[in-house]
Structure 1
């Protein structure tokens, strides 16, 4: 096992325990890539929560988590699952992009597209459309 796989052993273990299918663990250029498909958002969250215990800001540059929730189609309802604050809806899929809307904790938004593991394009009840950090969205 590599040092990155040691460092993130709990993330890998959580992915195995959560039943992530097509689980791939690959290390390349100093980055650990963990990918697969979750049957539901709780399984995806289990993997993210394991990362959160190691990296509370989710800003580590040496791991790339790509766990998609299988069966989520455009039009699926998602619940905003922030700790307490509003979820920013952005013009582009990055934290530097302009905020075009906000969704409150517990609010329901509609999935437009799972653009990447980190960012999903969503539409709010008010019709605002943009990208939200998928870590805070649950099916």
Structure 2
């Protein structure tokens, strides 16, 4: 099975979401997918799909380089097992406190967040 076949569902989902400037290329045993998602939620859904295809990210055969369109609101849907520190690691330059401060209207205790909550991700 080729990499294009292995990650066909991911490429199809990116196309269906209208990822701008979508580029898919295979080079030296690695599939590169580049583009700009219209929202952070769309970007996250593609990462979630990638995780279902390659659960532990062990294969090292895909580079998923997705930006979020300028001006798009960054949001993150909390999943079971998440905490603010874990979420912040997905956004370089942010700390758990940055996310907490952007969501004080929803989060009363930073140690208690609930799956399904939609959190604003501040820009840095």
TM over 0.5: yes
Aligning the two structures, in what range does the TM-score lie when normalised by the shorter sequence?
Answer: 0.5 to 0.7
Q: Residue 54 and residue 138 in structure 1: after superposition, are their counterparts in 2 closer, same or farther (change >3 A)? A: farther
TM-score (norm 2): 0.65
Q: Does 1:40 align with 2:39?
A: yes
Aligned mates of 2:74, 2:44 — CA distance in 1: 17
**Residue deviations 1:77-136 (CA, integer Å, cap 9, x gap):** 65473432324xxxxxxxxxxxxxx36x7xxx7xxxxxxxx6521132489xxxxxxxxx
Shift of 1:49: 2.1
What's the C-alpha RMSD, in Å, of the aligned pairs?
3.1
Aligned mates of 1:79, 1:46 — CA distance in 2: 10
Local SS of the residue matching 1:23 = strand
TM-score (norm 1): 0.58
In the other structure, the counterpart of 2:60 is 61
In the other structure, the counterpart of 1:26 is 25
Shift of 1:31: 0.2
In the other structure, the counterpart of 1:81 is 78
User: More deviation in 18-27 or 40-49?
Assistant: 40-49
Does the aligned pair in 2 maintain the 1:42–1:138 contact within 8 Å?
no
Aligned mates of 2:75, 2:19 — CA distance in 1: 20
After TM superposition, what 4+ stretches of structure 1 lie above 4 angstroms from structure 2? 76-80
